[in-house]
Amino acid sequence: MKLAGGCHCGAVRYEVEGDPLTHALCHCSDCRRHAGAPMVAWTMYPEAALRVTKGEARVYESSQHGRRHFCGHCGTGLFYYNANVLPGIVDIQSATYDEPEAVQARIHIQVAERIIWMERAHELPQYQRYPPQE
Ligand SMILES: [Zn+2]
Ligand SMILES: [Zn+2]
């Protein structure tokens, strides 16, 4: 399977080929604070599976070995590398795929750091768009 994706503004585009090793919804505080979102979905691949086809991501050193690649223009988070914990591996933010439903999410990880209300977020009232106006 070959998938394409990119950042919000389109300055950085990529392609990834093959099957992901896993697809995890990460609840760690590092992902949360970097994304400004309650969790981040990651698909894991061998490094060689990823090819940046347009532009160049900027790199943020989010921890001693953690490297978060993002678009320097629009800020979208794209890739994560950690040569210490995950040598030869790249994690790709699957919400940046052109077809984000192409790969099914499999697991939740780092739930020890999950925001408490995220545990039951799927039970909240749901609207196709917005709640009706009073
Ligand atoms: Zn961008
Ligand atoms: Zn995380």
pLDDT digits (tens, 9 = 90+) for 80-118: 999 999 999 999 999 999 999 999 999 999 999 999 999
Name the DSSP letter for residue 92: E
Among the bound ligands, the one closest to the CA of 29 = 2
Low-confidence residues of the chain: pLDDT under 50:
none
Ligand number, closest to the Cα atom of 75 = 1
**CA–centroid distance, residue 39 to ligand 2 (Å):** 8
| Distance of CA 131 from the midpoint of ligand 2 (Å) | 31
Tell me, what's the pLDDT at 41? 98
- pLDDT at position 36 is 96
* Own/partner pairs, 52-60, CB within 8 angstroms, 24+ separation: 52/12, 52/13, 52/14, 53/4, 53/13, 53/14, 53/15, 54/6, 54/10, 54/11, 54/12, 54/13, 54/14, 55/11, 55/12, 55/13, 56/12, 57/12, 60/34
pLDDT computed for residue 58 by the predictor = 98
Identify any residues that bridge with 47 across adjacent strands, giving them in sequence order: none
The whole-model pTM stands at 0.95
